[in-house]
Amino acid sequence: MKKVFIILGISAIFAACGGNSSTKGGADSASGANQAAKAANSDADTVVAKTGTEATGSSAAPSAGEKLIATLDCSTCHKVDTKVIGPAFQEIAAKYEATDANIDMLAKKIISGGSGNWGNIAMTPHPSLPEADAKEIVKYILSTKK
């Protein structure tokens, strides 16, 4: 990438300093060099953006539930694919089908907390979390099913 910028820079210097003695020719050459430099930068930005997308493994925007999880304390005890204190989201998704009844039940579990389904460690209740938000979180969790 450095070589491209060096070559473009040298080309711009030659275009601005030498060659055609008319003002119009020099300006056109410099303009062409600037356009080439802009095109190279545009291509570099595209490559960086694509690489960043590939590095994260996902090009889709986060869901509403995923955004809500990021604002709460869920990630202290849960990860998508790894058991921490509580089960991984993928384990929960494997256990429960994405039915309206399960979404309602799991949303109420998030709000009221509890223990027993995944061991003796109690899940912290989230009584101030609106039920609609809890349902969005459950929908996201159930979407992580392998």
Residue ranges at the known binding site for heme c: 74, 78, 123
CA distances from 74 to 21, 28, 138 (A): 69, 59, 12
Angle between helix 23-56 and 2-17 (nearest 10): 170
Residue 121: φ, ψ to 5°? -80, 125
Contact 36, 8 (CB under 8 A): yes
Torsion angle defined by CA atoms of residues 63, 69, 72 and 77, in that order, rounded to the nearest 10 degrees: -170
Q: What is the amino acid identity at position 15? A: A
